[in-house]
Amino acid sequence: MTHAMLKGSNVPLDATAVRAVLRWTPGQGVPDVDASALLLGPDGRVRSDEDFVFYNQPRHPSGKVWRLGKKRGAEGLTDTIQTDLTGVEPGVGQILLVASADDVTFDHVRDLRILLYDAAVADGEPLAYFDIKPETGAETALICGELYRRGDGWKFRALGEGYSNGLVGLATDFGISVDESEAAAASDAGAVPETTAWASPATAPETSLPLPPEQSAPPPQQPAPVPQQPAYGYPGPAAAATGPAYGYPQPAGRAEDPSAYGYPQPQSAPATQPAYGFPQAVGSGPDPDFRLPPQGPQFMSR
């Protein structure tokens, strides 16, 4: 006889081994669902991380609780946990049967049901089933039901308790130590990504920027030519060709004229110098026939 269970109800089990089957209807937008189990001690917590049976640890070390994996059937997809009730260690008082989704809330999962079968009977009718209805729709992990000891036997209780922080949050509540890689694995529904290491600024590798192509040195800048200055404030001849004295080059074949004081000289200097600063007539010069007048008696000695 199959028991249709309501939330919070329980049923005794006569079977020595059971299969807890999660079943749902796949479709567009429906997340993948994973089954897992937590073996709890008398204090309601796991004894160690080995008491967590899930996709990355599909078999308990005792060999009495294991995950059978997923199958596609006529009524939908299934994921199954099998338990040998007679072989479960005495220190285990409860076995939680859990469903988790791949970062998608359970309001997207259609027709979620847990069915309990006698594992010793092939193709038998389920002993009990429970249709799971999320309370808020924001749950990403659900405790569908639990197997628990009662005296010398076992019972099954329908629960349907939800967690909005996924399998990681649920497992942490029952004493599982979840590191970063396990948290990433839980959020990725079975895929354990590699952990990315960030280098601190002190240890980050230096980045070499490409050097610009070698450039030739620019040609030396030539000094601007010094304009010719007029002598003593007056403009010189238009065709003056000599360079300034005191460090500036002179025309070829012409000696530096120290009387220029840094000012340019005319290319053809006059042969005679002006007397007392006044110019002489062109072609003028001393008269070769010029004679001084005879000396007067005032210059004669006595």
pLDDT, tens digit (0-9, with 9 covering 90-100), for 41-86:
999 999 999 999 999 999 999 999 999 989 998 889 999 999 999 9
Give the other-Cβ count within 10 Å of 263's Cβ. 17
- Antiparallel, parallel or unpaired: β 94-101 and 141-150: antiparallel
Residue type, 294: P
| pLDDT at residue 104 is higher than 70 | yes
Instruction: Select the more confidently predicted residue: 257 or 103.
Output: 103
| pLDDT at residue 127 is higher than 70 | yes
| Of the listed ranges 35-39, 58-62, 218-222, the one predicted with least confidence | 218-222
pLDDT band at 245, cuts 50/70/90?
Answer: very low
Query: What pLDDT does residue 213 have?
Result: 44
Contact 245, 258 (CB under 8 A): yes
Instruction: Select the more confidently predicted residue: 187 or 12.
Output: 12
Contact 25, 37 (CB under 8 A): no
pLDDT band at 244, cuts 50/70/90?
Answer: very low
Query: What pLDDT does residue 21 have?
Result: 97
| Of the listed ranges 52-61, 165-174, 186-195, 291-300, the one predicted with least confidence | 186-195
Contact 242, 254 (CB under 8 A): yes
Q: Is 35 exposed, middle or buried (0-12, 13-18, 19+ CB in 10 A)?
A: buried
Q: How far apart are CA 98 and CA 119, in angstroms?
A: 19
- What are the respective helix, strand and coil percentages of the chain, to the nearest 5? 10, 30, 60
pLDDT, tens digit (0-9, with 9 covering 90-100), for 267-300:
544 445 555 555 555 555 566 666 665 555 443 4
Instruction: Select the more confidently predicted residue: 63 or 189.
Output: 63
Instruction: Select the more confidently predicted residue: 233 or 13.
Output: 13
Contact 195, 180 (CB under 8 A): yes
Query: What pLDDT does residue 181 have?
Result: 54
| Of the listed ranges 14-18, 61-65, 131-135, 176-180, the one predicted with least confidence | 176-180
Query: What pLDDT does residue 92 have?
Result: 97
Average pLDDT, the chain: 75
Q: How far apart are CA 38 and CA 172, in angstroms?
A: 11
| Of the listed ranges 26-35, 82-91, 248-257, the one predicted with least confidence | 248-257
Contact 242, 264 (CB under 8 A): yes
Query: What pLDDT does residue 286 have?
Result: 61
